[in-house]
Structure 1
Amino acid sequence: MAETDRLQRYLEDELGECRNEDLQRRLAELDELESVLNEETISHDIETLSALGNETRYRLVRLLVEADEELCVCEITPLVDVSDSGVSHAFSRLVGAGIVTKRKDGRWRKYEATPKAVALLTVLDGSR
């Protein structure tokens, strides 16, 4: 009840007056808007963003996006100041988040940025 009282006061300020139908229409619009907050989507998005929230993982994704091709882990490891196990762990997290794909080619592991990674870094680049 307190939430609708506050919303009613807000609508009165915005509209000059607030009839019951104004309040009901706005409540319906807010209910519809709330549907974008489903747990599965939020969980997935947070996993994606948190996968980039580490310097090593971000550097690896940045390298792959800039390379614009698949790279062998043996080509990537010398470019970052991280142990082989650290690189492996970072890639595991990135693959799990759908930001990087992994392919085995005999004894070699090759990684490539996904379109999701390209889109995320493009947005970051455009925000500077």
Structure 2
Amino acid sequence: MPRASDGAPFPDGSTLDGFADVLGVLGMSRRLRILRLFLEVDDTLCGCEIADVLELEDYQVSRDLAALRRAGLVTTQERIGTWVHYGRVDQPDPTLERLLAVVAGLPLERPVRDRLGLRLEFRERAGCVLGVGDPEVIAALETATSLPVLD
């Protein structure tokens, strides 16, 4: 019987090499933070929302979401105009499910949690029309968290 280190499947069908690839994707703290946001909400998240909440540039979030999607950690849920909404994987394999449980146990800073809640309230009012750098979003997020959002 081949060893798992030779790429033989685990009981759930994944391979050590595939799992190492997933861990490599999560080797960036920014991607861990993005994945942690998905585990905080029951809904989809748009790249613009993630960028506002984590104070990142659009292109960074876009690249990180693509890497997380290729790794099977998030899925594309829907496209609304120029906005793409991503969501959690519905039924991850058992190995991935255990990894997601570890990520879900990571702390989410209070200001980030507050900004996430507020940013999702904007969606309810206006959809994803308020994007990164929108003055109304920035002012509301700064007021709610007493922290400067974008420098």
Equivalent residue, structure 1, for 2:83: 108
| CA positional deviation for 1:105 | 2.8
Structure 1's unaligned 5+ residue stretches are 1-31
Match of 1:42 among 2, 5, 16: 16
Using structure 1 for the length normalisation, give the TM-score: 0.62
Distance in 2 of aligned mates of 1:81 and 1:59 = 11
Q: What are the superposed Cα offsets for residues 15-68 of structure 1, whole Å, 9 maximum, x if unpaired?
A: xxxxxxxxxxxxxxxxx3x43333371221111111111111001100011112
Percent identical residues:
31
Q: What are the superposed Cα offsets for residues 103-126 of structure 1, whole Å, 9 maximum, x if unpaired?
A: 323321001122446542313539
Please state if 1:86 is matched with 2:54. Answer: no
Largest Rg, 1 or 2: 1
Give the partner amino acid of 1:39: G
Q: How does 1:48-127 map to 2 (within 5 A)?
A: 48-102=22-76, 103-114=78-89, 115-116=91-92, 119-124=98-103, 125=105
| CA positional deviation for 1:83 | 0.9
Given that 1:65 and 1:118 are in contact with CA atoms closer than 8 Å, whether structure 2 keeps it comes out as no
Higher helix share: 1
**Any idea what SS the aligned residue of 1:82 has?**
coil
Structure 2's unaligned 5+ residue stretches are 9-14, 107-151
Using structure 2 for the length normalisation, give the TM-score: 0.54
**Any idea what SS the aligned residue of 1:109 has?**
strand
Give the partner amino acid of 1:58: L
CA-based RMSD of the aligned residues comes to 2.3
Rate the CA distance shift 1:105–1:48 in 2: closer, same or farther, 3 A. same
Count of residues in correspondence between the two structures? 94
Distance in 2 of aligned mates of 1:105 and 1:118 = 29
Give the partner amino acid of 2:100: L
| CA positional deviation for 1:80 | 0.9
Deviation beyond 6 Å, 4+ runs, structure 1: none
Distance in 1 of aligned mates of 2:81 and 2:98 = 30
Distance in 2 of aligned mates of 1:38 and 1:106 = 45
